[in-house]
Chain A
Amino acid sequence: MKNAPAHAGHGAHYFVPQPSLYPVILSAGMFLLALGFVQTMNDAGPGQWVMLAGAAVIVYVLFGWFGHVIAESQSGAYRDWEDRSFRYGMIWFIATEVMFFAAFFGALFYMRVISVPRLGEMMAVHGVTLWPDFAGTWPTSGPQGAPFTPMGAWGIPALNTALLLSSGATVTWAHWALLRDRRRQLVAGLAATVLLGAIFLGFQAYEYHHAYTELGLTMGAGAYGATFFMLTGFHGFHVTLGTVMLAVILLRSLAGHFSAERHFAFEAVAWYWHFVDVVWLILFVFVYWV
């Protein structure tokens, strides 16, 4: 860590925040969201309203808790020692996200390399006709799946790749500006990144619409449809979160927050954005292309 002294610990006081009610309220909101979700899926009671209440509580906490943290940051409560805690924390949080996507990529590779080919071999090995016309090749909706057209790589997906790669460049450009204290370039870089993220999401929504209405490609389209929508869906959800986070950073930059020396929140969001970018590249290769 370039901002950290050799060891800030001794003699300095670590910032231990005052008691806070936000964590408990957040947990209560998550409880309502989960309860309402179970109700909705099982048609048991007014699930949507319970979910809505939970979501409202969570949004309230996000504004309150993050607002509180920003106020603490602006008042100078955090110095190098605390800053290092946040950095380590964000790094390991992103590590958990990597493993979350690894589960879905693992499922994709398992199906493509192991389970689908073996399903196809069943006929040859056992000499019986379990599934007429099932070849066990990828893409597939399985022995009893409905026909569909897989998503091509070189239309919207390739365009989206270009968009996300460009957004990685613009956020780095904004970071350079921040380090050199060029505030207008910082704002311009962040605004461009938010815009690119939003366009990406628009294209993604269009692609889903196209898949459902014209290609017959749905979540129910067997192994291909399941992995396609879960991987691109969770990625899209992360892009949405990242875009919101970038928008907050943009607003804070406009409000004059961050300095060349101290801007953990900016870097955390930039790391997150690069992580989402890398996931997309793997996704583009293995879900759309090969």
Chain B
Amino acid sequence: MNTATTTQPTPHDAGHYPGGLMRWLTTTNHKDIGTMYLTFSLIMFFVGGLMILAVRAELFQPGLQLMQPEFFNQLIGVHALVMIFAALMPAATGFANWMLPLMIGAPDMALPRLNNWGFWLLPPAAILLTLPFTLALFGIGDGAIATGWTFYAPLSVQGGMGVDFAILAVHILGISSIMGSINIIVTIFNMRAPGMTMMKLPLFAWGWLITAFLLIATLPVLAGAVTMLLTDRHFGTHFFDAAGGGDPILFQHLFWFFGHPEVYILLLPVWGLMPHVLATFSRKPTYGYKAQVYSFIAIGLLSVVVWAHHFFTAGLPVPALFYFMFSTMAISLPLAVLFFCWIATMWKGAMSFETPMLFAVVFIVLFGIAGLTGLILADVAADAQYHHSYFVVAHFHYALFAGGIMGVMTGVYYWLPKWTGHMYSEKLGKLHFWLTVISFNLTFMPQFFLGLAGMPRRIPDYALQFAEFNAMSTVGAFILGLSQLIFAWNIWCCVRGGPKVDGRVWEGAEGLEWELSSPPPHHSWETQPVIK
């Protein structure tokens, strides 16, 4: 073996760090890696957003206005894959990288080189995912994956080269997430400050711990499913082909065994973050710490046994329908506990409404709408009406935009001063907040009504009676998209400069992360604190 490159075995490196681009390519520092995750996430948020703005522009009026249906379908599928795998998940991983060592009193993440690899797998995967668009311009292939993000067979078995690119991209994204999850689990188990028992662990860490377990349990199943898809496409197998004894519904089972927990993978880090923000700006301790921990665990366990509610209309046996309906509805119980704890944390608090608190409060309301409409969809009898309609689209955007992305925005505003040492512009932050909330509802509230009236999703044309609501939704989407430029500008200015902040940025903030300077030192807790 190669021993020429012996390293200095200094326990804590006094060392030399490369600058410029090499700093980012080679870094093993959790803050650098967290920054890269968050930057990548923001860039891909705009990439995925531009794709869907093109879709909304097409849907502004009935009839085919701007694009062919094939391209429309490609934009929808890649929008979802980009937003889920390249925007929302990396944002949560970026939070974990930045905040977990600060919060649990660790010098860094447990496996720093693996951490770097986990990030650097993302750009190649994003290139693989979007490359077919470019190739099609040069006459190679027929564009990106056009099946929606769910890869349903047999459509995906018949699709072009874009499906292969998406399969390989998902494999690489999956490896990245698994490496990140292993690192987070090891960090939480092995790097906590002495005296920090599991029941003293910050809720953000608990949320991520359950997320990481869900990723470990389900992402390999997605990898297996798309591998079977690949062999069905190119190596003659019949997993999803009835002529050979296979079954296309098998793909839906395998996909949603991953796909449903994925929703909780996207949301649990946000649920972990919310109590910190709510407690800080209510100047009260978090209400019901234990109840929230047990709810996280209960939701994590339930999330892997409810997958078939995504395809109630596929022709499952009636007992299976009942089982998946009731198990799905059971998730609302621990979720209701979380809602109760969030509200009780604010109850009789000395509240103030800085930008992160505004996002957190509105998160409770809008995510509540996502939960309630989810209950409607969980009802087998009702779902036959709503399935594959715009009602579903509206539902999961309340869950994943209001619940996921606005949760991430909460975290960005809450922690940005900690990361940069500067305060962001509260004025621009509030402007961004109001524009986002109003235009978000303008975009997605009409889609509930469109869905109830029967408009199917993933179709570029629609009947005349859907025109007004679609026009409203498109106007909302463009305002929503443009408002995010304020967000990016505010972050940019905050990174470059602004009023200096102390270690404890917010008056009511509690926890180890606020005891370090802002920005924190290179090795966060070089000497671990002791928790009493």
Contact = CB atoms under 8 A, between A and B. Distances in A.
Interface string A236-250: 000000000000100
B501 interface: no
Given A17-B7, A19-B17, A84 B190 contact: yes
Given A44-B140, A68-B2, A18 B15 contact: yes
Interface string A54-87: 0000000001111110111011110001001100
B254 A16 contact: no
A161 to B, nearest CB: 24
Interface stretch (A35-43, A184-192, A209-217, A271-279): A35-43
Contacts of B117: 22-23, 26-27
B221 interface: yes
Contacts of A75: 6-7, 9
Main secondary structure of the interface of B (DSSP, over half): helix
A221 B236 CA distance: 8
Nearest to A6: B194
Contacts of B6: 71, 75
**Chain B residues touching A, range:** 35 or more
Contact of A144 (B223, B244, B528): B244
B242 interface: yes
Contact of B120 (A15, A23, A223): A23
A252 B141 CA distance: 48
Contacts of A12: 11
Nearest to B184: A92
**Which of A10, A18, A106, A227 has the most CB atoms of chain B within a 10 A radius of its CB?**
A18
Interface stretch (B19-27, B51-59, B381-389): B19-27
A286 B233 CA distance: 26
Contacts of B190: 81, 84-85, 88
B108 interface: yes
B238 A27 contact: no
A23 B113 contact: yes
What bracket does the count of chain A residues touching chain B fall in? 35 or more
B83 interface: no
Interface string A100-121: 1111101100110011100100
Interface stretch (B165-173, B270-278, B362-370): B165-173
A111 B248 CA distance: 11
A64 to B, nearest CB: 6
A56 to B, nearest CB: 16
B244 A226 contact: yes
Interface stretch (A135-143, A169-177, A193-201): A135-143
A145 B243 contact: yes
B7 A97 contact: no
Contact of B191 (A14, A35, A70, A102): A14
B153 interface: no
Given A10-B194, A21-B26, A230 B12 contact: no
Nearest to A225: B237
A107 B245 contact: no
B247 A88 contact: no
Residue among B7, B217, B231 with the most chain A CB within 10 A?
B7
10 contacts: A16-B28, A28-B124, A35-B128, A71-B7, A85-B111, A96-B219, A98-B220, A143-B245, A145-B244, A222-B244
Interface of B: 1-3, 5-9, 11-13, 15, 17-18, 22-23, 25-29, 106-108, 110-114, 116-117, 120-121, 123-124, 127-128, 140-141, 161, 164-165, 168-169, 171-172, 175, 178, 181-183, 185-186, 189-194, 216-221, 223-225, 227-228, 231, 233-239, 241-247, 249-250, 253-254, 257, 523, 526-528, 530
